[in-house]
Structure 1
Amino acid sequence: MQIGMIGLGKMGGNMAARLREKGHEVIGYDVASQERDVDTLAELVGRLAAPRTVWVMVPAGEPTSATVAELGDLLEAGDLVIEGGNTHYVDDRTRAEALSARGVGYVDAGVSGGVWGRQNGYGIMVGGAASDIERARPVFDSLTPDEGGGFVHAGGVGAGHFVKMVHNGIEYGMMQAFAEGYELMAASDVVDDVPGTFESWREGTVVRSWLLDLLSRALEQDPDLAELRGYAQDSGEGRWTVQAAVDLAVPAPAITAALFARFASRQDDSPAMKVVAALRNQFGGHAVTKAGAADDHDEP
């Protein structure tokens, strides 16, 4: 199918490339990228045949709000907006209502997969009307892994970003557990081969996972993590997950502790937070080196 992709950064650019590889016609726009096909949102809308489908993949907050608002003025009844950034789910409802008044559909899509998504496929979690989801299903099917899975229609508008928020909160906890295990082994006088230990856990153990694969890869590249600062930014979704847990009176001690550990990472150079930084760099390209700052876009 034909789709407009707004935002051609680490995620949006790779998603557009994967869609093209799967045979879709993608018209891309980005305020900064030289890879864009059009120079304005108005030109993008003009290039798309009605009824149009437009995927917004820009940083959460004001960039997304401004983009969706401008699209609301440009699109027509019957068109569809898919918002794929790391948006707070409560904002989805406001945007959907504004677009609905113009007859424009709205789907919120949580996307996971980082810089590896183009090759491996993405996890896509969506919220919205069933008719809107089915209309865009060819795009979702092409973005998710070739072997199947990786997709859920989680509920109405806001549900996609809510479950992606929880997904990222769980990810915080998993990363923190690996990080603390690394620091504990590295601090002992018992374990001689910490990287080899993590490598051995990749097969046959109950903790084997893609995150463990990425950690083993990071330790192979830099066994002492000497090139990284023990600093990890939080993209906002960890905070939202903890706040939702408070609002719903759901105990979430592991996720909450992992969020606070990221705050602690901004004080002293921590071996555990070097592991978290290494994992974020592996799956999301968020490099925090001794020489530079983080490059955060839309992964936790």
Structure 2
Amino acid sequence: MNNLSDFGLIGLAVMGQNLVLNVESRGFQVSVYNRTGDATDAFVAAHADKKLVPTHTVAEFVQSLSKPRRVMLMVKAGAAVDAVIEQLIPLLDANDIVIDGGNSLFTDTERRDAWLTAKGFRFIGAGVSGGEEGARKGPSIMPGGPASSWEAMRPIFESIAAKVDGAPCVMHIGPGGAGHYVKMIHNGIEYGDMQLICEAYSLFKAAGMTADEMADVFDAWNEGDLHSYLIQITGKALRQRDPETGQPMVDLILDKAGQKGTGQWTLMNAADNAVVVSTINAAVEARVLSSMKALRVAASSQLSGPEATLEVDRQQLIAQVHDALYASKVLSYAQGLDLMRTMSDKKDWALDLGGIASIWRGGCIIRARFLNHITEAYRADPTLPHLMLAPFFKNLLNTNQQAWREVVALAASHGIPVPAFSASLSYFDSLRTERLSANLLQAQRDFFGAHTYERVDKPAGQWFHTAWPEVIE
């Protein structure tokens, strides 16, 4: 092995370990450090044939790296990242590069970028998507920060990233916190996508389909225009059997969903920027409601409603749910892209939405065949105001909407909750409606608060107030 390593990684949890093995497999020597030394030794011992350098103090770790040092952190987002950076600062030299590869909030990344830049160091906030399998075989990587830092990391990032049509699924996203911001939106889209698939599952279950029958449907869908990582793993999950009972594994899993915060961050950012992400919002709320298990059990015996059983033609249902799922999935992506476009304009990030869609085609959790169409849409018109208006997606939504409406109506009439399907359809209908009911809302606001309003028969920008009648109690 060489005296000094090409790359160093701090944090040997599952993602960190797999990224190290990925980097090493591309011909780089890697130094590793973990807060608990036993974990470092066990990891290196388990891969004795690899070019790995174990270190047991932060100082030893830093000294083991060639200059400019390239240090990647894979530690829990939040205070832990700041604590590790505090340890590194006295040991680094000017122009050394620190990369935060965790799911950090983009505003924390902007703060750390300013902090380290002022001290003469370089900082990259890099979103990494793909789970442990992606980390080992090739993730999608979304690095933000100075272009010079990207160029210094480019050989490693491009070598370890997933490849689609020979192109690596990594690009320089933009300055400051842009990389972690795009990863946050990726995760928000992921929330929407997963919830929509779960609602399709609920409809099939209400129709009496077995787990294996549903797995067959998802496997078939994965061969067509719904081809995606999440559709693929859904089929595999439904087919999995519990070795202890022989039952479908999915039937034994408690219906309480977890979350790590990126979906909620997306909602908060959308609210701050007055951007509607109703599909993603419905997905986040669905997870919150799932966590209220005790209340739901109590309510189920006290609140009445129709029996959630569908007596329908299964093949027709499968075809309708396919179309509703496809249309709704498109809106999850469209809303995320709309939020990215808004933030890009606000922060002057110059985000390349077509390029971002392109690097999401491989490695990441939301990789899907129709990302090719998203990439093409923004390549054809970089100023596209909304993905729904691109020719391919406009035609798809117009074609699929009848099945979409029938699925939402069927679910509502049978008491089957499909919040993300419903929110997606309402978003579609609201956006395509030339005149909404907000005229009455403006009348209400002016009535109780003299907030004024514009008129359809007067030039835009002129504001009016009406002397409304007095309310008599």
Same fold (TM over 0.5): yes
Q: Report the counterpart of residue 273 of structure 1 in structure 2.
A: none
Tell me which residue corresponds to 2:127.
110
**For 2:98 and 2:249, how far apart are their aligned partners in 1?**
45
Decide which of 252, 267, 284 is 1:227's aligned counterpart.
252
1:264 corresponding residue in structure 2: 289
Distance 1:139 1:7 in 2: 18
In the alignment, what sits opposite 2:20?
16
Q: How is 1:192-203 mapped onto 2 (pairs within 5 angstroms)?
A: 193-203=213-223
State the match for 2:76 in structure 1. 59
Larger RCO, structure (CA 8 Å, separation 6 or more): 1
Do 2:124 and 2:145's aligned partners in 1 also have CA atoms closer than 8 Å? yes
The CA deviation at 1:176 is: 0.2
1:28 paired residue number: 32
Q: Distance in 1 between matches of 2:83 and 2:232?
A: 38
Matches within 5 A, 1:122-201: 122-146=139-163, 147-189=166-208, 191=209, 193-201=213-221
The answer to whether the 8 Å contact 2:139/2:160 transfers is yes
TM-score for the superposition, normalised by structure 1: 0.85
- Give, in angstroms, the shift of residue 142 of structure 1: 1.8
CA distance in 2, matches of 1:91, 1:150: 25
Q: Give the residue type in structure 1 aligned to 2:94.
A: A
Q: Contact 2:159–2:168 at 8 Å: present in 1 too?
A: no
CA distance in 1, matches of 2:231, 2:147: 36
Equivalent position to 1:236, from 251, 254, 261: 261
Consecutive unaligned residues in structure 2, runs of 5 or more: 45-53, 242-247, 297-364, 366-473
**Hey, what's the Cα distance between the residues in 1 that align with 2:251 and 2:143?**
39
Alignment root-mean-square deviation, CA? 1.7
State the Cα distance separating 1:227 from its structure 2 match.
3.4
Report the Cα distance in structure 2 between the residues aligned to 1:185 and 1:27, rounded to whole angstroms.
49
Q: Secondary structure at the match of 1:179?
A: helix
Q: Tell me the alpha carbon deviations over residues 259-283 of structure 1, each in whole angstroms, 9 at most, x when there is no partner.
A: 111111212299xxxxxxxxxxxx7
Counting aligned pairs with the same residue, the percent is 39
In 1: Cα distance, 2:249 partner to 2:25 partner: 38
User: Counterpart of 1:245?
Assistant: 270
What letter corresponds to residue 195 of structure 1 in structure 2?
Answer: A
Deviation string for 1:97-132 (max 9, x for gaps)? Answer: 111122100011000010211453100001111111
For the 8 Å contact 1:129–1:157, the answer to whether it is kept is yes
Deviations 1:36-86 (A, max 9, x none): 611111110111122211011111011111112221222111211111100
Question: What count of residue pairs does the alignment treat as equivalent?
Answer: 269
Q: Which consecutive residues of structure 1, in runs of 5 or more, have no partner in the other structure?
A: 271-282, 284-300
After TM superposition, the structure 1 stretch with the greater mean CA deviation from structure 2, 139-148 or 162-171, is 139-148
2:283 partner SS: helix
* Inter-partner Cα distance in structure 2 for 1:94 and 1:7: 21
Asked whether the 8 Å contact 1:76–1:102 carries over to 2, the reply is: no
